[in-house]
A and B are shown apart, each in its own frame.
Chain A
């Protein structure tokens, strides 16, 4: 009897997990692999994006400073938004040059019908005047936005995503981005 109950519980849990992730997948856009992960602001958060994609088993190319040509064989553009002056300095870019680079990528993605996924992984610390400039400039082009909750305390992401009808997902911790990433990408082939 006990064994049956245990089996039933496991079955129910597995089914609910399946339905939750199915409903999550249905309520959010689907993206295709391979994807190009790049930064919008040159913060090291782009590296976190790379590790998350690796752990989610995605076929991804991480290129902090990607040019629009690198989109040639890609099916998704993932922008990890967040400004780091140090990162910009290391890349030999100023904020305007970085904006131009990202704008070029977005224009190319639009030309090729490549959907854009925006990630804000740095939380509250990765907000501020400069990061907000990038958020306001580039978020409206996204099909979906995933944000670590503390970065959306003031509701900026909610506001832009509501206005532009963009699918928004909030997670509590950076590491929690991994599961939704698995769900929103269609398997290869």
Chain B
């Protein structure tokens, strides 16, 4: 190397570092499982369908704020991903208002009709699962539309017509059916056939949709237009309300017009927790997801997880044991806080986390976990949907919503084209449970939309569907980012695992097949019973997230390939 080289090399490095920072945006890879971060500078939308993402992004570009875009995305999801959410369902959203530096939660969870009672799903002491899942008795009073309108009026800038346009367009013009849509349509065929018949708008000539078929829903488009022409209240006290009640009662349900008329969403303060120097804001019970994520993080903070390594035997074993303790808590304590006292403070205390960690042994499973009867039907659920939005002002919405099972109850009010939820199945069928049905009670949910802050600045917007896997999957994603240094989508796509306990007994450990065989073998040696699922199994959720990199002034969007997750920034 000459003297001249010694001079030129630092000069070259200096000149390169002086170049303006440009974003290198790569095309999404052909293999949709390959981690890919969507990139934006001003705003970002992530959701479970590309058309819904487009609806949200267009709203942002037209000057709407994060709330406007989130509600537009939600309506679009009703048209593009109708099997997971819609006006016939409910959910939770957490909103961060950048200027006020304030986070608030809107709880638009469905609630039980006035005639609900604790033993309504028992017939001579036998639980009637059909009543809970695909019967008029399965339908809870929907809250989605009321919640979206509440958020829009209080925190949005646009009117209902503006945010409905994309949803109407998608429902009228149709979308190509994805393999995910087709598979779910096939999985839920029996229920749709039974409750909507072969002429259902959710079937194609009486059969499930095949990939690349065009799915249109003109009836839904008309319903959404009606919300503009007759006012959204028509859903709760007008002609649509009558259609809902007729459909529910025709299928043996107990919902009345008064139940719909009396529904209102609740605005409440978020639940706050910490992990090391991060702060997490999430939703309160009756959603259990947020609480359990905070519990898990409190426990994990005691462990050298980085040292153990990503998905190492020690890591999976310890987290699995923690999941089992938390499921025991879920069964014992979680209900609607308006009807029962939930010891949230105790569950989130440092002392409680220490007690649990001290009981977890690296070499074997617990003989028993604190007793709690857990509803086995909650385990197979893959449903629900999540969306996240950040706007150019830094306002954020993290919204998770559902109609419970995919295609909900399968009941469609005649001529209106939307699915009614079967959220009553989230109540325990056992009258002695804190989560048994009662008039106007909200069933416990597993949703956990969250915003994670570092030094008072939002860093990560995250949420997922996946039933009872929501909190276990979201916690794994958070740890993947914070402890294992993964990019957002790497963290989302990484192989997941799940287990639970019921009546004090450890249940099987479910793993994605990408977890290496030697790890599974060593877990079996410790005592776990392993059940291997598909490589990218939507059983483990379909997370969406936004990571805010303030140093680079870049927004990264991550969307789960286990479903049709997508994102777009600008």
Contact = CB atoms under 8 A, between A and B. Distances in A.
A174 B193 contact: no
A51 B210 contact: no
A53 to B, nearest CB: 13
A123 interface: yes
Contacts of B179: 124-125
A43 interface: yes
Interface string B179-191: 1101100111110
Q: Which of B183, B211, B539 has the most CB of A within 10 A?
A: B183
Contacts of B379: 89
A152 interface: no
Interface string A15-58: 00000000000000000000000000001110110010001000
Interface in A72-93: 84-87, 89-90
A47 B194 CA distance: 10
Interface string B120-148: 00000000010000000000000000000
Contact of A86 (B187, B198, B532): B187
Nearest to A95: B531
A108 B121 CA distance: 38
A183 interface: no
Given A43-B186, A85-B533, A86-B382, A123 B193 contact: no
Contact of B190 (A44, A124, A126, A175): A44
A83 to B, nearest CB: 10
Contacts of A86: 187, 380, 382
A129 B536 CA distance: 12
Contacts of B183: 122, 125-126
Interface size class of A (residues with CB under 8 A): 20 to 34
Contacts of A136: none
A85 B539 contact: yes
Contacts of A122: 183, 186
Contact of A150 (B211, B376, B539): B211
Interface residues of B, number: 27
Given A44-B186, A44-B187, A86-B382, A51 B206 contact: yes
Contacts of B210: 123, 148, 150, 173-174
B207 interface: yes
B277 interface: no
A44 B406 CA distance: 13
Nearest to A86: B380
B208 A174 contact: yes
B31 interface: no
A189 interface: no
Given A90-B380, A123-B210, A126-B183, A175 B193 contact: no
A124 B212 CA distance: 13
A163 B70 CA distance: 55
Contacts of B380: 85-86, 89-90
B351 interface: no
Q: Which of A122, A148, A174, A175 has the most CB of B within 10 A?
A: A174
B207 A48 contact: yes
B127 to A, nearest CB: 13
Contacts of A44: 186-190
B205 interface: yes
Q: Which 7 A-B pairs have the closest CB atoms?
A: A125-B183, A89-B380, A86-B380, A44-B189, A47-B190, A44-B190, A47-B189
Given A125-B179, A175-B205, 7 more contacts: A47-B189, A48-B208, A89-B376, A124-B179, A126-B186, A129-B534, A173-B210
Interface of A: 43-45, 47-48, 51, 55, 84-87, 89-90, 121-126, 128-130, 148, 150, 173-175
